[in-house]
Amino acid sequence: MAVTKGNCFLCGKELGKTAMKNHLLKNHTDTTCEQKSYLLKAEGRYDKDYWIYFDVPVSSNLKTVDTFLRRIWLECCGHLSTFSYGNYEEIKKTTKLYTFEEGTQLIHEYDFGSTTETVITFIAKTTRPAQKKPVRLLARNIPPEFVCCVCGKPADYLDVEEMYETDNPFYCEDCADEDEHEFLLPVTNSPRMGVCGYTGEMDDFSFVKPELLN
Ligand SMILES: [Zn+2]
Ligand SMILES: [Zn+2]
Ligand SMILES: [Zn+2]
């Protein structure tokens, strides 16, 4: 699969993941704004086509990052979650972001049964215009496209039972109605698509105009 591109939510530019990091650092970070923040990247550990750049005040803690990840691509039924360096030692969620060095990578795990793993990279300490909401979404991958295995139209659902048996368990609305499918879940822009009862994000994190972000 080709590497997914994404949109910068501040200016609309469409770029690949690494180019987006450079774009954000060059064009949208400052060292002179009021609020000290941390530019972070989140990506699916095993589905790297799902990625997000966001910033958070350095005075926030990991709990803020956890809440954001749940809202944008994880939450199904309130499972437990944890941060670590990729071992079994849990990093407390009360840990403040400024304590992490630039370049640090953490693994976030959501749901210890059907786990979804996210890699968090601490990219750079930056500053930003003060805003009330702690997390500002800066860029996100464009949703990968899946096609209906029957008719080839854009897919709306996937059949969870067929997920591990066929290459294409995806169906459009019409073809999903035609047949009996007991376990359909919606196509979502998330590494948790098709897992447990995951049905999509809790806020509208689709592309929004900059003035709506604050
Ligand atoms: Zn931009
Ligand atoms: Zn669940
Ligand atoms: Zn179809």
User: For each of the chain's 214 residues, which pLDDT tens digit applies?
Assistant: 456 899 999 999 999 999 999 999 999 987 788 999 999 999 999 999 999 999 999 999 999 999 999 999 999 999 999 999 988 799 999 999 999 999 999 999 999 999 999 999 999 999 999 998 999 999 999 999 999 999 999 999 999 999 889 989 999 999 999 988 889 999 999 999 999 999 999 887 776 554 544 4
Q: Tell me the CA–centroid distance for residue 177 and ligand 2, in Å.
A: 25
Distance of alpha carbon 146 from alpha carbon 159, whole angstroms: 13
Tokens 């993941």 belong to residue:
17
Which residues are CB-contacts of 157 (< 8 A; sequence separation ≥ 6)? 170, 171, 172, 173, 176, 181, 184, 185, 186, 187
Based on the fold, state whether residues 13 and 104 are members of the same structural domain.
yes
Helix (H) or strand (E) holding 41: strand 35-44
| Of 214, 211, 210, 144, nearest in space to 9 by CA | 210
> Would 27 be classed as within a structural domain?
yes
Q: Tell me the CA–centroid distance for residue 176 and ligand 3, in Å.
A: 7
pTM: 0.92
Q: Which domain holds residue 11?
A: 5-143
Q: Tell me the CA–centroid distance for residue 145 and ligand 3, in Å.
A: 14
Based on the fold, state whether residues 125 and 156 are members of the same structural domain.
no
Q: Tell me the CA–centroid distance for residue 26 and ligand 1, in Å.
A: 9
Based on the fold, state whether residues 59 and 18 are members of the same structural domain.
yes
Distance of alpha carbon 194 from alpha carbon 188, whole angstroms: 8
Q: Tell me the CA–centroid distance for residue 7 and ligand 3, in Å.
A: 28
Q: In this structure, which ligand is nearest to the CA of 151?
A: 3
Based on the fold, state whether residues 13 and 107 are members of the same structural domain.
yes
Based on the fold, state whether residues 38 and 59 are members of the same structural domain.
yes
Q: In this structure, which ligand is nearest to the CA of 112?
A: 2
Based on the fold, state whether residues 82 and 177 are members of the same structural domain.
no
